[in-house]
């Protein structure tokens, strides 16, 4: 994601329009209780959706939530539909996912194209991939299909593989002018690995397996994936010193991207190596649990999680559920963690003027005073994933999936082909001007807020 240092001028405007209801109560063994609880939380999540309002953009959530998190949030809405059999938001999901594809149908819409990073693109791609695997209603024939969109995201990302520095890897940013262009981070590379694994299993095409192996090996070579007592996933490496200094933050979503990727690969290939890695990554994931309750260890205890980071537990919960579906040996550990965390999350959803706003810290007694899109997403995902083993696992093209794709998606005739190598000095200068203009308008906005 793009590192604008905007202080989060959070607005309560669209929130709390409902009358006060009691805290979310959850009896995990009752489907009706889970329905009642998750419908309140999903409603609270969609309170942040502004795309249906006059003059607002379809697919986007309110400020200060970045475009990438919108892609993450639509993935949560998709999970809500699938696990809870509630299609209330399906039309909005379809409209959002199709409005934001961009001209090349690869989730680089023009409005985002100056600031978008590989990880940002990936979270929309993952939502499209999930729609294919869940056999969600296919888009109209004149629109790009779920599988096509996922392949286009994968292909355009894979084209940016940068063998010129550090022996490979994806840079965080797509464009040279964004800060982070010199950083090769685990969420970008992990997402490429993860998408490759899922496309391999869905399509049966072994090119994707080769890619997955290549990305995993590179991440291991530069030690952002460890393989000693634990298999941890660290934040990333800078190209400045040939990727030798590892930034050792551990985020739940990175562990989850790699964990679930390995689970898909094991389920598809049956190879011991992916089985072994899945179990080791899972075991090592215990660093993110406190008495079996999930937390964002790198920032939550210090109270420093930013808006992006407060949504990470949502993706990790989603990937735990997928792993449990795909690798039976993980099920008892995962379901124990999910169930304990879901109960804890539900009791945290007792804040705000609506009485069921979710907090960040699930082992606090009640609501911790935090709120936001990320909090709603994380609570919703952990709760719906208690149903992971009650629903069919991800479908494939041969078994239940009906989405159509194309191995060349994203690289076809009209491809924008956003490989950084194709950026000329001229476009760099133009981008500098754009950045300056954006900078000025941010300052102007900030001043406006101050006065």
Ligand X SMILES: *[C@@H]1O[C@H](CO)[C@@H](O)[C@H](O)[C@H]1NC(C)=O
What gap in Å lies between CA 421 and CA 176, rounded to an integer?
A: 10
Q: Concatenated DSSP letters for 65-121?
A: --HHHHHHHHHHHHHHHHHHT--TTHHHHHHHHHHTSTTTTSS--GGGTTT-BHHHH
Interaction between residue 135 and ligand X (CB under 6 A) = yes
Tokens (6 digits) for 167: 């022996």
Q: For residues 81 and 127, is the Cβ–Cβ distance under 8 A?
A: no
- Please identify, among the stretches 15-23, 185-193, 399-407, 416-424, the one whose residues bind ligand X according to the rule CB under 6 A: 399-407
**What SS3 state is found at 351?**
strand
Interaction between residue 357 and ligand X (CB under 6 A) = no
- Please identify, among the stretches 171-179, 283-291, 350-358, 436-444, the one whose residues bind ligand X according to the rule CB under 6 A: 283-291
In this structure, what are the phi and psi dihedrals at residue 106, rounded to the nearest 5 degrees?
-135, 20
Interaction between residue 238 and ligand X (CB under 6 A) = no
Choose, by CB under 6 A, the member of 3, 18, 28, 431 that binds ligand X. Answer: 28
Helix axes 67-84, 373-384, angle to 10 degrees: 30
DSSP 8-state code for residue 16: -
- Please identify, among the stretches 188-196, 304-312, 400-408, 431-439, the one whose residues bind ligand X according to the rule CB under 6 A: 400-408
Interaction between residue 292 and ligand X (CB under 6 A) = no
Q: How far is the CB of 16 from ligand X (least distance, A)?
A: 16
Residues numbered 378 to 397 that lie near ligand X (CB under 6 A) are: 386, 393-394
Among residues 35 and 91, whose Cβ is nearest to ligand X?
Answer: 35
What gap in Å lies between CA 125 and CA 138, rounded to an integer?
A: 15
Residues numbered 63 to 82 that lie near ligand X (CB under 6 A) are: none
Number of residues that bind ligand X (CB under 6 A): 50
H or E element, residue 25: none
Widest CA span of the chain, in angstroms? Answer: 62
Q: Which of 418, 424, 427 is nearest to 159 (CA)?
A: 418
Among residues 303 and 439, whose Cβ is nearest to ligand X?
Answer: 303
Interaction between residue 303 and ligand X (CB under 6 A) = no
Interaction between residue 162 and ligand X (CB under 6 A) = no
Interaction between residue 327 and ligand X (CB under 6 A) = yes
Interaction between residue 335 and ligand X (CB under 6 A) = yes
Interaction between residue 90 and ligand X (CB under 6 A) = no
Q: In 204-303, which residue ranges form alpha helices assigned H by DSSP?
A: 206-221, 252-269, 272-284
Q: How far is the CB of 128 from ligand X (least distance, A)?
A: 15
Give the residue nearest to ligand X (CB): 393
Among residues 3 and 57, whose Cβ is nearest to ligand X?
Answer: 57
What gap in Å lies between CA 287 and CA 86, rounded to an integer?
A: 33
Decide the pairing of beta strands 289-290 and 293-294: antiparallel
Q: How far is the CB of 32 from ligand X (least distance, A)?
A: 4
Interaction between residue 44 and ligand X (CB under 6 A) = no
236 DSSP β-pair partners:
185, 247
Residues numbered 138 to 157 that lie near ligand X (CB under 6 A) are: 155
Among residues 244 and 429, whose Cβ is nearest to ligand X?
Answer: 244
- For 183, 184, 426, the CA distances from 190, given in Å and listed in that order, are 14, 11, 32
Among residues 226 and 402, whose Cβ is nearest to ligand X?
Answer: 402
Interaction between residue 366 and ligand X (CB under 6 A) = no
**How many Cβ atoms sit within 10 Å of the Cβ of residue 109?**
18
Q: Using the structure block, give the residue that is written with the tokens 């009706």.
A: 32
> Which residues would be at the binding site for ligand X (CB under 6 A)?
28-30, 32-33, 35-36, 39, 42-43, 57, 86, 88, 99-100, 109, 111, 135, 155, 166-167, 205, 207, 221-222, 242-243, 267, 270, 283, 286, 290-291, 301, 325-328, 332-333, 335-336, 339, 363, 386, 393-394, 400, 402, 407
């Amino acid at each position: 994601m793009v590192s604008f240092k905007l202080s989060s001028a959070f607005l309560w405007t669209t929130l709390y329009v409902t009358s006060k209801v009691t805290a979310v109560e959850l009896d995990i063994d009752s489907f009706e209780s889970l329905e009642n609880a998750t419908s309140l939380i999903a409603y609270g999540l969609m309170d942040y959706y502004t795309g249906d309002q006059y003059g607002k953009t379809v697919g986007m959530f309110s400020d200060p939530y970045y475009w990438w998190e919108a892609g993450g949030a639509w993935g949560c809405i998709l999970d809500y539909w699938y696990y809870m059999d509630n299609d209330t938001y399906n039309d909005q999901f379809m409209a959002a996912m199709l409005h934001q594809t961009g001209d090349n149908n690869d989730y680089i819409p023009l409005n985002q194209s100056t600031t978008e990073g590989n990880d940002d693109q990936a979270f929309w791609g993952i939502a499209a991939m999930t729609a294919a695997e869940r056999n969600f209603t296919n888009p109209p024939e004149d629109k790009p299909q779920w599988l096509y969109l996922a392949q286009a995201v994968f292909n355009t990302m894979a084209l940016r593989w940068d063998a010129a520095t550090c022996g490979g890897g994806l840079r965080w940013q797509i464009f040279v002018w964004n800060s982070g262009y010199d950083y090769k981070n685990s969420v970008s590379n992990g997402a490429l690995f993860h998408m490759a694994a899922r496309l391999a299993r869905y399509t049966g095409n072994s090119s994707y397996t080769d890619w997955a192996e290549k990305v995993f090996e590179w991440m291991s070579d530069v030690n952002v994936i460890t393989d000693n007592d634990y298999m941890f996933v660290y934040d990333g490496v800078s190209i400045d010193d040939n990727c030798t200094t590892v930034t050792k933050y551990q985020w739940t979503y990175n562990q989850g991207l790699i964990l679930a990727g390995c689970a898909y690969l094991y389920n598809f290939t049956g190879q011991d190596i992916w089985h072994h890695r899945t179990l080791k990554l899972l075991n090592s994931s215990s660093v993110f649990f406190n008495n079996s309750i999930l937390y964002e260890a790198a920032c939550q205890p210090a109270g420093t999680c930013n808006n992006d980071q407060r949504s990470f537990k949502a993706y990790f919960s989603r990937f735990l559920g997928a792993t449990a579906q795909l690798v039976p040996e993980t099920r008892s550990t995962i379901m124990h963690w999910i169930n304990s965390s879901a109960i804890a999350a539900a009791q945290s959803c007792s804040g705000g003027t609506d009485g069921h706003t979710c907090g960040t810290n699930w082992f606090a007694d009640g609501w911790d005073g935090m709120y936001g899109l990320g909090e709603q997403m994380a609570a919703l995902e952990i709760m719906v994933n208690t149903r992971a083993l009650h629903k069919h696992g991800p479908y494939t093209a041969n078994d239940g999936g009906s989405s159509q794709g194309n191995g060349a998606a994203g690289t076809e005739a009209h491809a924008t082909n956003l490989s950084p190598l194709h950026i000329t000095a001229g476009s760099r200068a133009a981008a500098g001007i754009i950045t300056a203009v954006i900078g000025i308008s941010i300052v102007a906005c900030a001043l406006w807020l101050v006065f």
